[in-house]
Amino acid sequence: MYFKKEKIILVSLIATLLCLGIYFLYVYFHYIAGHPEILNNFQFWGKTILILIPIMIVVQIVVHILFSIINKILTNEEMPTITDEMDRFIELKALRISHWISPFGFFTAMATQAFGMQPWVMIVTLIATCFAGCIFSEIAKIYFYRKGI
């Protein structure tokens, strides 16, 4: 058996989704629930995202370390330390998918304002499409590793 990179991508994706879900539930129940007017406060959104970024980085590092230890114990597989041309090619193709989603999110966010929706809808649309882009790019990586390019 050899180490398949899609395993770490899948674990990382699950960790990202869990982290995002728990964080936004925490933010909702502690700040938004009962105070819906805070949704139109841009300072609140700025703080929410700025706090989320270091949390995500720490979670990713911890997940990588834990995964490499557990994987080594269970399967005795070494995680490759090099990034070769196929990895870079898959990375580029996945990045292109996330770059297609970003402008879609931007135009949707602008459309919400054009149709007279609340400002928080624009922010939520931008954040949601940004994370959707990241998630789709990870799913694309798993697909390319499995099916080939």
Partner 1 sequence: MATCHISNNIRTLRFFADEMTQQQLADKVGVTRQTIVAIENGKYSPTLELAFRISRVFGKPLEDVFSFDLEDDSTQNSDKKKKGNK
The residues binding partner 1 (CB under 8 A) are: 2-5, 80, 82, 84-87, 145, 147-149
Residue 148 beta carbon to partner 1: minimum distance, rounded to whole angstroms:
3
Q: 8 and 64 in contact (C-beta within 8 Å)?
A: yes
Q: Residue 49: how many CB atoms within 10 A of its CB?
A: 13
**Helix, strand or coil for residue 84?**
coil
Give every CB contact of residue 6 below 8 A, 6+ residues apart in sequence: 141, 142, 145, 146
Q: What is the DSSP letter of 32?
A: I
Kindly tell me which of 37 and 84 has the beta carbon lying closer to partner 1: 84
Residue 125 beta carbon to partner 1: minimum distance, rounded to whole angstroms:
37
Residue 91 beta carbon to partner 1: minimum distance, rounded to whole angstroms:
13
Kindly tell me which of 120 and 145 has the beta carbon lying closer to partner 1: 145
